[in-house]
Amino acid sequence: MKPLGPIPPDFESVDGELAISGRTASQLVEDAGSTPLFVYSRQRLSDRMAQLREALPERLAINYAIKANPFLPVLQHMACLVDGFDIASSGELRMAQAAGLDANRISFAGPGKRDDELEAAIAAGVTLNCESEGEAERALGIAAAAGTQARMAIRVNPSFELRGSGMKMGGGAKPFGVDQDRVPALARRIIEAGADWRGLHIYTGSQALSADAIIETQGNVLDLADALAREIGGPLPKLNMGGGFGIPYFHGDEALDIAAVGAALEERFANLPASLADTYLCIELGRYLVGEAGVYLTRIVDRKVSHGTVYLVTDGGLHHQLAASGNFGTVVRRNYPSAIATRFGAEPEEEANVVGRLCTPLDRLADAAHLPWAEAGDLVAVFCAGAYGATASPAQFLGHGPAAEIVV
Amino acid sequence: MKPLGPIPPDFESVDGELAISGRTASQLVEDAGSTPLFVYSRQRLSDRMAQLREALPERLAINYAIKANPFLPVLQHMACLVDGFDIASSGELRMAQAAGLDANRISFAGPGKRDDELEAAIAAGVTLNCESEGEAERALGIAAAAGTQARMAIRVNPSFELRGSGMKMGGGAKPFGVDQDRVPALARRIIEAGADWRGLHIYTGSQALSADAIIETQGNVLDLADALAREIGGPLPKLNMGGGFGIPYFHGDEALDIAAVGAALEERFANLPASLADTYLCIELGRYLVGEAGVYLTRIVDRKVSHGTVYLVTDGGLHHQLAASGNFGTVVRRNYPSAIATRFGAEPEEEANVVGRLCTPLDRLADAAHLPWAEAGDLVAVFCAGAYGATASPAQFLGHGPAAEIVV
């Protein structure tokens, strides 16, 4: 038996079923018309943002990194809640614009921006987080050719990283950002070239659950920003302090203590150096904002027993839930939180494997899980499906196509 | 420095560039209009089939498992070369039909077939490889309700597996197929219910490079089919012997000796038991037929150096090449065969990392590779991109969308 991850708090049971925004899993599927289905809760999105606003300094702006979930109704909902969007491609720029977000609230990071993407972003007035000297020169050239001024910041490759993060993005050689010792020269070049200088973006890692690690890293980020600003020779207009706030996926994971993160930031903000005194300070969060607001529902098509082992074969799978299947940047596969949605709260009775419909043993949603008895027709819920689900999975694999998505 | 995988034989250099069907990488990109680009070679598809027909017994039919590459022009080309198609979803059924393939040359395996998929397949006349007793009953019920006869075979979960295969699909408890000891009872049930009994499908694994392992497994498959046929009480109409033929991806891999596989099969076929004497015998291959016929071309957008390490940042990445990035069922990341396509055959000069454009350190196409000096504008080729590339990768990740595909 292998433990399941922790189900995010406050999911209710109605008539013995998992309910989201008061509607049972069966009703949600009926309303959407099919399984598999991603359900995103507006209330959970709003609640999460309210918790963050409560915990973090008022001065700190919160951006949404839309790569985590670019479903249009999610973007539209988030647009009213956050202070800005972070994008990673011109495709995401179009999505952000479709959601009605003002381009001057958008910044664009990503190591392989093509000329056509730089052109579109500059024309729209988006802030470019430049990833290299070469990219900065291309952007300056494109802006000059268009007779316009580009909004330019520098993404810094810091010499430190976020301890305990799931995905390390700083420290040593990296394809992301400009090594910190080369940042002042590039900043001066950008300023001298007449661009609209927007400051720095310092991203150090993602999916950290330790408040201490985040506090330490945010302190390092502020120190580095101050040092760089002094070397550049002027106060920073803006500092994107990165993100890194994690959510619990696996057994034993505990929720990040955002109150502690907020208190430490308040203290730092009360004593900012002159270089940062008037700086627009923001963080960018993706997974933390939307991850726990989403549930993936898939229907059991077959209950089968092979050599005494129970398999609940669903009509979903890794083509929608690559990370949950343990096949995306994972060394040891562990179970995401999941449940039999149509028997929510029922006592576990047996050990079963929840598998997807693909012809590969990799397609497993829950491994040796302790679950209530379930059969064909029952719905399975995979939680923490709001981030890096639909778009971070190979939806066309085996010709199955994408899952439906709804916001409730 | 980490070695690159072996480039498949017979790729030529024209004007210092990789050429496919006589057109240079630059010309191919110009013709297609954009990068990233998958290029599939008709000639290589045809040559591979010709080699197989030469090596394998004339009696053995060869099916194409279209999950490996369902691009319509590839399917249309393969339809003229192979004896049948294997599909894994109703989506693939539509693709097979769009390619003009006669439905009675199609068989359908997959552990999570929904009722709507069974209905479509039965209506079309496709052979169902039933994965469980429950699925067989559903199929019988659907055929009865439609007043038609379903073509039904049984996918067997054998007690043995393909040694050394990349993906084990048999042996012990599995979500695939019916445990071999329960097959005779189910076969009799299918025959008695009046279905068009089509025999057995025995799939044991994939991506094996050892001829000995494949020969041993094919022997086991024939023995098991004979034993099951005798228990069922009649000769088998058809036996799908599975696939499992691998291609070399990594340094040190050697091509499968298909002549040895063919010779062993000839010997077995000369001495078939009565139960198999008149059986339609086939294998199903996906990766082996199309994998080496495809090349992924992506353009270098930035050449950057971080702490002395060279990064060639491309406009492609794991959203098109998940397996090549080492993020799909891989424990230890190794390099696929790749090259600087616009400096094909040039001497390697430096150690460089070829990375994609996604904001994740997972997005790496070649790690610490020994490559000719290259810069922005150069094209990178990733070989062995004909199978499980475009459709087995999260194309929508970060809003980038799918790569272009062409057949030449």
Cβ burial of A128 (10 Å; 0-12, 13-18, 19+) is buried
Q: Chain A: nearest CA to B267, how far in angstroms? A: 31
Residue written as tokens 């995979």?
A: A382
Q: Measured on CA atoms in the order A29, A33, A35, A41, is the torsion positive or negative? A: negative
DSSP for A223-270, written as a single string? HHHHHHHHHHTS--SEEE----B----STT-----HHHHHHHHHHHHT
DSSP for A141-153, written as a single string? HHHHHHT---EEE
Q: What percent of chain B has pLDDT over 90?
A: 93
Is B134 in contact with A376 (Cβ distance < 8 A)?
A: yes
Compute CA B262 distance to the chain's CA centroid, rounded to the nearest angstrom.
Answer: 20
* φ, ψ (nearest 5 deg) of residue A106: -115, 135
Is A92 in contact with B398 (Cβ distance < 8 A)?
A: yes
* Residue B168, both tokens: 């084990």
pLDDT band at B331 (very low <50, low <70, confident <90, very high): confident
Which residues between 363 and 382 in chain B have a beta carbon less than 8 angstroms from any beta carbon of chain A?
A: 376
Instruction: State how far the Cα of B206 lies from the Cα of B245, in Å rounded to an integer.
Output: 6
Q: Given CB atoms, is B304 within the 8 Å cutoff of chain A?
A: yes
Non-local (6+) Cβ contacts of A268 within 8 A are A218, A219, A222
Q: Which residues of chain B are within 8 Å of residue A130 when distances are taken between CB atoms?
A: none
pLDDT digits (tens, 9 = 90+) for A22-72: 999 999 999 999 999 999 999 999 999 999 999 999 999 999 999 999 999
Is B399 in contact with A67 (Cβ distance < 8 A)?
A: yes
Q: Which residues of chain B are within 8 Å of residue A353 when distances are taken between CB atoms?
A: 175
Q: What is the CA radius of gyration of chain A?
A: 22
Instruction: State how far the Cα of A165 lies from the Cα of A167, in Å rounded to an integer.
Output: 5
pLDDT of the residue at B161: 85
Would you call B382 helix, strand, or coil by DSSP?
A: strand
Contact yes or no for B183/B200 (Cβ under 8 A): yes
pLDDT at residue A87 greater than cutoff 90: yes
Q: Which of B304, B327, B398 sits opposite A328 (nearest CB)?
A: B327
pLDDT at residue A167 greater than cutoff 70: no
Q: Strand A294-306 relative to strand A309-314: parallel, antiparallel, unpaired?
A: antiparallel
Q: Chain B: nearest CA to A244, how far in angstroms? A: 13
**What are A282's strand-pairing partners?**
A61, A240
**pTM across the whole model:** 0.96
Q: Chain B: nearest CA to A301, how far in angstroms? A: 6
Q: Chain B: nearest CA to A314, how far in angstroms? A: 6
pLDDT of the residue at A330: 74
A323-336 average pLDDT score: 87
pLDDT digits (tens, 9 = 90+) for B17-45: 999 999 999 999 999 999 999 999 999 99
Q: Given CB atoms, is A320 within the 8 Å cutoff of chain B?
A: no
Q: Given CB atoms, is B168 within the 8 Å cutoff of chain A?
A: yes
Q: Given CB atoms, is A109 within the 8 Å cutoff of chain B?
A: yes
Q: Mean of the per-residue pLDDT values for chain A? A: 96
pLDDT at residue B54 greater than cutoff 70: yes
Non-local (6+) Cβ contacts of B349 within 8 A are B371, B372, B373
Query: B43: part of which helix (H) or strand (E)?
Result: helix B42-55
pLDDT digits (tens, 9 = 90+) for A193-208: 999 999 999 999 999 9
Residue written as tokens 């802030």?
A: A127
Q: Given CB atoms, is A306 within the 8 Å cutoff of chain B?
A: yes
pLDDT of the residue at A170: 62
pLDDT band at A169 (very low <50, low <70, confident <90, very high): low
pLDDT digits (tens, 9 = 90+) for B346-367: 999 999 999 999 999 999 999 9
* Torsion region of A192: left, alpha or beta (phi above 0 gives left; psi -120 to 50 gives alpha): alpha
pLDDT digits (tens, 9 = 90+) for A216-225: 999 999 999 9
Contact yes or no for A353/A369 (Cβ under 8 A): yes
**What are A178's strand-pairing partners?**
A156
pLDDT at residue B170 greater than cutoff 80: no
pLDDT digits (tens, 9 = 90+) for B240-259: 999 999 999 999 999 999 99
Is B113 in contact with A396 (Cβ distance < 8 A)?
A: no
pLDDT at residue B85 greater than cutoff 80: yes
pLDDT at residue A168 greater than cutoff 80: no
pLDDT at residue B113 greater than cutoff 70: yes
pLDDT at residue A120 greater than cutoff 80: yes
Instruction: State how far the Cα of B366 lies from the Cα of B244, in Å rounded to an integer.
Output: 26
Q: Chain B: nearest CA to A260, how far in angstroms? A: 27
Ordered by where they begin, the domains of chain B are: 12-40+292-407 (2.40.37.10), 70-285 (3.20.20.10)
pLDDT of the residue at B236: 97
Q: What is the DSSP letter of B68?
A: G
* Residue A234, both tokens: 């002027």
What CA–CA distances, in Å, run from B271 to A376, B52, B213, B226?
44, 22, 20, 12
Nearest C-alpha neighbor of B150 from the set B179, B118, B186, B180? B118
Q: What percent of chain A has pLDDT over 90?
A: 93
pLDDT band at B168 (very low <50, low <70, confident <90, very high): low
Q: Given CB atoms, is B179 within the 8 Å cutoff of chain A?
A: yes
Please name the residue of chain A whose CA is at the shortest distance from the CA of residue B399. A91
A128-139 average pLDDT score: 98
pLDDT digits (tens, 9 = 90+) for B132-165: 999 999 999 999 999 999 999 999 999 998 887 7
Name the amino acid, one letter, at B20: I
B212-228 average pLDDT score: 97
Q: How many CB pairs under 8 A join A and B?
A: 212
Interface probe, candidates B74, B178, B302, B305, chain A, greatest A C-beta count within 10 A: B302
Question: ipTM of this predicted complex?
Answer: 0.96
pLDDT at residue B62 greater than cutoff 70: yes
Instruction: State how far the Cα of A355 lies from the Cα of A375, in Å rounded to an integer.
Output: 13
